[in-house]
Structure 1
Amino acid sequence: MSRRVPAPPAVAAPRALRVAALLLLAALLVTGAAAAELGQDLQGLLAQARAQSPELAAMRSEAQAAAQRVDPAGALPDPVLRVELMDVTNKATDGSFNLLPSRVGETKYTLMQTLPAWGKRGLRRAAAAAEVQAATARADAAWTELAARIKAGYARYYLASANERLTGEILQLAASVEQVAQARYAGGLTGQQDAIRAQLEQTGMRSELLMLESEKRQARARLNALLARDAAAPLAEPLALPPLPAAQRMDPAALAQRLREGNPLLRAEQAKLRGAGSTRELALRNRYPDLTLGIAPSQMGSRISSWGLMLEVAIPLQQDVRRAQEAEALAMVDAAQQRSEALAHQLLGDLGEQLAALDAARRSEELVTTRSLPQSELGLRSALAAYENGKLDFSSLLEAQRQIRKARQDRLKAQVEARLRLAEIERLLGEDL
């Protein structure tokens, strides 16, 4: 007697659906977390721009289009087939008009191929390849320009955000000063004017906080525009500025050499110079005419009655035209050379200017960090203690508070200024330091 085996419960499909749902939810959470973190660091913004920028995509497409022109530039012209129908009225045979090759007096077929003079195809290919190099360099220049703008935008975004935090901290400090003034006023040690002035100071800071919030929104909108995002798209608060390279890596001579070798605009001009050189060589080769070879079978009735060979060559009589073309090509070479040298001098001058500004920003930050800020903090502590003991007026206490705020702002401005200069230096070099 056979026994029926019970079927297992149908749980595989629901379990698979639950797993798929969990995976989808995890992916959404990861994506949302990544979107929420965008803006915290500079590298995330640069990666977003490199992947999403329509300007970069357009420049890369132009470079790809230029690459497709290299092989056609050196290709042979298409062959030409000529068909000649002779005596289509058939008068020689007292026949009637006809257009069939076997029904006319004679049909002549000519197959021709033009062969450029030796070296011309290679020169055309070299000129096209130089244009590819120039287009690629222009795409690199577009990226370095965009990256520099993003770096500068991130530094300004950080400045607005850090200023907002700093003003909030000073506002808390001002509130503490007001409490001291209120306590002294309650004890009859000072007039109500001190407390009122402390409140006015806080009101001014709150008004400045509104301005800083507006500046931060503007900086966020500019960054979003550079990232090809909606202007109101959220960006996380910036965490920190990127570190500055070590001082020994900022040798002017070494950086100048790196600029000559790596600046994309300079590479584009040098590629144009190579292309102009190839064009000039091609103009000189045009003194030698191209050859056209052909084979010409003749048909009479339904059979080939004869064969012929053809050689065609242009007679170089228009020497004035060729000399003008050669002179034009030479002038284009000279112009490309001069543009390349002028651009190199300009870029080297810009590099020297940015290096000097970066060094000044470094020194300014060091001076504020080691001298102004510690002195201001010590002065505020001393002023607060002296005011509590009645040995200092409230105006001096407010001035000490403003001094520490100014020192912190000066350090922050020097840090941001150094990053702005670094962004320009990296744009000039065409690479990160």
Structure 2
Amino acid sequence: MTQFLQTAALATLLLLSAPTRALADEALPGASVESLLALAKANNPDYASMRFEAQAATERIAPAGALMDPKLRIEWMDITKAGSQNATLWPSDVGSTQYTLMQDLPWFGKRDLKKNIAAQEAQASQGKAQGSWTELAAKVKTTHAQRYYLHHTRQLTQELLDLSTRLAQLAQVRYAGGLAMQQEAIRAQLEQTALQTELVALQGESRQFDARLNALLARPSNAALAAPERLRPVPAAAKLDADALMTRVQYSNPQLFTEASRIKSAELGRDLSLKNRYPDFTLSITPTQMESRISEWSLMLEVNIPLQQASRRAEEREAQAMLSAAQSRRAATANQVASELTEGLAGLDAAQRTEQLARSSQLPQAELTFQAALAGYENGKLDFATLLDAQRQVRQAKQAQLKAQLEAQMRLAEIEKLLGEEL
């Protein structure tokens, strides 16, 4: 009876702990790229810094168009009343007190230009922040695809190692029965060792990519990650039309958006430099207090005289040169983006074709060849070298399919980075 109760209690504990373990596994990031992107967007410090910089640039818009703070000047005149009293600063006891309130006023339109320049710079900062996110997202997507490739390559290598173990046992049996030479058994063991060595290398490489992904997610480098379960589906051919994507890139690419904002900022800066040909003003009003009453009012208008025309012309030429530089940078960026998009689309198409050939032609043929070679070896009609060669062909076909999938995902991530959005 006691043994029965112990067994029942153990079974109950196992049943209760199974869902807990399942939930813990599900809580780990890494199974899908969507969960990784969400974590990266929330936690990555580089992207956070770019967002804060964009926010700071937005907060500069209002101050850029504001008037300067007014100034108050107080002057105590004849503080000893011609030597008839000790010095004092009490307004009613001095000869007179002047209160001057001054306000600097820029030429008409300058404030609006400065505000608009700050707004364009804020948009450029937002474009840089968006570009930072697309760059980060591309790294996350690429790293996830590489983890998926390594994970399934390890599984494939382990399967081949198990198969090689069975083939080595078969070779040993044939050698013991005098049906094969000792060299075949040794070669089978060498093949096992080679696969074991490769498995160790793959495990080390997987840990490196796990650490790289954890860094992107702002997690400890050795933090646990779930095994990658699936890759993102490649969009249909209709969504990969080169002309349509080229049009989308012109409007949504973060780099082009940033450069367009810089061009507008440079145009406004040139207009502001032309406005500097005209003077700025200072307006002031001065009430004068004598004893306990205001006895006089004064009004003053101050105008700076823009005599330094040579320096102003140099500033105007500088502003025009900055505008030309911004326009040239956008043209260069547009050419580069168009080239990278064309290259990415060509690479994606080639990867899809390669995967299709590997899945529908190369792999089935390699598997048929291996099955025929295995049957021939068991019947003594083929040597062990032919069987190993057939096994390698199966492996090469499966690896070609995985590599094509990895290449397609990397090209897709690059295209989406250029677009600045998901396909």
Q: TM-score, normalised by structure 2?
A: 0.92
What is the rounded CA distance, in whole Å, between the counterparts of 2:42 and 2:32 in structure 1? Answer: 16
Matches within 5 A, 1:154-169: 154-169=144-159
Q: Report the residue type matching 2:146 in the other structure.
A: R
Q: 1:200 is matched with which residue?
A: 190
Taking a change above 3 Å as real, the CA distance of residues 96 and 207 of structure 1, as seen in their structure-2 partners, is: closer
Q: 1:61 is matched with which residue?
A: 52
User: How far has the Cα of 1:405 moved from its partner?
Assistant: 0.7
Contact 2:28 2:224 in 1 (8 A): no
Matches within 5 A, 1:6-405: 33=24, 36-91=27-82, 94-405=84-395
User: How far has the Cα of 1:384 moved from its partner?
Assistant: 1.0
Q: Percent identity?
A: 54
- Equivalent position SS for 1:306: strand
User: How far has the Cα of 1:95 moved from its partner?
Assistant: 4.1
Q: Report the residue type matching 2:361 in the other structure.
A: R
Per-residue Cα deviation, 1:264-290 (whole angstroms, up to 9, x for no partner): 122111111111111111111122212
Q: Report the residue type matching 2:294 in the other structure.
A: I
2:419 corresponds to 1:419: no
CA RMSD of aligned residues (A): 2.1
Per-residue Cα deviation, 1:361-420 (whole angstroms, up to 9, x for no partner): 111111111221111011011111111222211111111011111111111111101111
Give 5+ residue unaligned stretches, structure 1. 1-24
Q: 1:5 is matched with which residue?
A: none
- Equivalent position SS for 1:238: coil
User: How far has the Cα of 1:197 moved from its partner?
Assistant: 1.9
Q: 1:6 is matched with which residue?
A: none
Q: Report the residue type matching 1:158 in the other structure.
A: Y
User: How far has the Cα of 1:422 moved from its partner?
Assistant: 1.1
User: How far has the Cα of 1:89 moved from its partner?
Assistant: 3.0
Q: 2:7 is matched with which residue?
A: none
What is the rounded CA distance, in whole Å, between the counterparts of 1:334 and 1:68 in structure 2? Answer: 28
Q: Report the residue type matching 2:41 in the other structure.
A: R
User: How far has the Cα of 1:187 moved from its partner?
Assistant: 3.8
User: How far has the Cα of 1:96 moved from its partner?
Assistant: 4.0
What is the rounded CA distance, in whole Å, between the counterparts of 1:225 and 1:315 in structure 2? Answer: 58
Taking a change above 3 Å as real, the CA distance of residues 216 and 30 of structure 1, as seen in their structure-2 partners, is: closer
- Equivalent position SS for 1:292: strand
What is the rounded CA distance, in whole Å, between the counterparts of 1:58 and 1:29 in structure 2? Answer: 37
Give 5+ residue unaligned stretches, structure 2. 1-15
What is the rounded CA distance, in whole Å, between the counterparts of 1:269 and 1:190 in structure 2? Answer: 72
Contact 1:171 1:202 in 2 (8 A): yes
What is the rounded CA distance, in whole Å, between the counterparts of 1:37 and 1:284 in structure 2? Answer: 60
User: How far has the Cα of 1:118 moved from its partner?
Assistant: 1.5
Per-residue Cα deviation, 1:238-273 (whole angstroms, up to 9, x for no partner): 112211111221111111111111111221111111
Aligned residues: 407
User: How far has the Cα of 1:32 moved from its partner?
Assistant: 6.2
Contact 2:25 2:226 in 1 (8 A): no
What is the rounded CA distance, in whole Å, between the counterparts of 2:205 and 2:25 in structure 1? Answer: 25
Taking a change above 3 Å as real, the CA distance of residues 238 and 68 of structure 1, as seen in their structure-2 partners, is: same
Per-residue Cα deviation, 1:335-372 (whole angstroms, up to 9, x for no partner): 11111111111111111112211111111111111221
Q: Report the residue type matching 1:181 in the other structure.
A: A
Q: 1:12 is matched with which residue?
A: none
Per-residue Cα deviation, 1:309-351 (whole angstroms, up to 9, x for no partner): 1111112211112111111111111111111111111111111
Taking a change above 3 Å as real, the CA distance of residues 145 and 76 of structure 1, as seen in their structure-2 partners, is: same
What is the rounded CA distance, in whole Å, between the counterparts of 2:388 and 2:61 in structure 1? Answer: 72
Deviating more after overlay: 55-64 vs 29-38? 29-38
What is the rounded CA distance, in whole Å, between the counterparts of 2:20 and 2:298 in structure 1? Answer: 78
What is the rounded CA distance, in whole Å, between the counterparts of 1:371 and 1:166 in structure 2? Answer: 19
- Equivalent position SS for 1:317: coil
What is the rounded CA distance, in whole Å, between the counterparts of 2:154 and 2:251 in structure 1? Answer: 42
- Equivalent position SS for 2:38: helix
What is the rounded CA distance, in whole Å, between the counterparts of 2:26 and 2:61 in structure 1? Answer: 42
Per-residue Cα deviation, 1:20-69 (whole angstroms, up to 9, x for no partner): xxxxx99x969963764311111111111111111111111111111111
Contact 1:36 1:235 in 2 (8 A): no
Per-residue Cα deviation, 1:57-96 (whole angstroms, up to 9, x for no partner): 11111111111111111111111112122222311x8444
User: How far has the Cα of 1:175 moved from its partner?
Assistant: 2.5
